[in-house]
A and B are shown apart, each in its own frame.
Chain A
Amino acid sequence: MNWQSTLEILQDNLGKALADTFFMVSIATVVGVVFGTLLAIALFLTQHHLFSPNAAVNNVVGFIVNAIRSMPFLILLVVLIPLIQLIIGDPYTPLGGAIALSIAAIPFFARIAENSFTEVDSGLIEAAIATGAPTRQILCDAIFPQALPSFIRGIVLTIISLLGYSAMVGTIGAGGIGDMAIQFGYNRYETGVLIAIVVLLVVLVQAIQWIGDLIARAVTH
């Protein structure tokens, strides 16, 4: 193991790789959380007897969510390549990776958010409805504040999962630290680089989890 070459490689490539990973995971997280929450609200309201029970809508949306989630990400990625090509031309870029990750993130987070909502005490929901509040207010001012700690933990889980998935988009050359680990660490036997990136990932994930837990606890009363 040649430490000098390891350091050289890291110096030349780590900066961009980290930036690419950050880019992809951030976009996917934001898109996943925003659209996943909307889907979760639809799923939640259509299966709750006090809101707008609608088996048809619930089943259709549920089916789509389940279908995407059931695909191993690598396969989803391959399936999405033609679609991404249509949208941005070259799928083998960080932007292409971000799109693929976003599509995976949406149903992933939808189920997590839906779970956070259904965990809210039904008595609380009953009381909120009894005040004559409109559904929007019940969601924003009663259900969401109660679901917030669980919601935040769900976001942390999503970020960490996306971090893992982002390594896979590296296999199609979309960049990121996963790509770097495979390119240098695996293909060119630069074990030092592999170790360095693994350590980096461990530290990153620990930090994200720790910060997330801190925030979740801060909003729990």
Chain B
Amino acid sequence: MNDLNDLDEMDTPTTPIPDLGPDLVVRPSVRALQRRAEEHRARALHHVSELCEQGRRDEVLRWLIPEMMRDPSLKKIRLWQLDVVMFGVGQERAFRTIRKAKALAGDKSNMKVGWANLGWALESQQDTIRMTSWLWTIMLREHLVDFRVPDGFPYEWIYRTPPGLQ
């Protein structure tokens, strides 16, 4: 992600003006900040897309979550956008998945499915249920996991330890 560093060099947020004293700085406009955050998000999504194209989907969250901690603007990446870039599904299907995940998590918040983002899904420790439900619903949808009683349940669990070792 060298692109993100390039952006910092290109558009420095605080430029001191020596004539008016060292404390006075020129702040960028709100619009410029928004544009900058949008660009960050677009680049992050592009990187996720590249990872998935290279078959490295298992690195997505490992990269995205620490990156989000470093750059809070990434918290506004919407879940449906992530779903679209990771699995190439349509917007409607991504919305439906979020709707199912909200029902599974028993979520009572007023968040609309189209607006649900990473920050909302990981808002607090208790709210991580939103993220796990969403990831799980995606995996069931994509047949990446088969939720069934494990083979040998329950006796392989009960008698896992060889006899005589107690």
Are A and B interaction partners? no
Q: Which residues of B contact A (CB under 8 A)?
A: none
Q: Which residues of A contact B (CB under 8 A)?
A: none
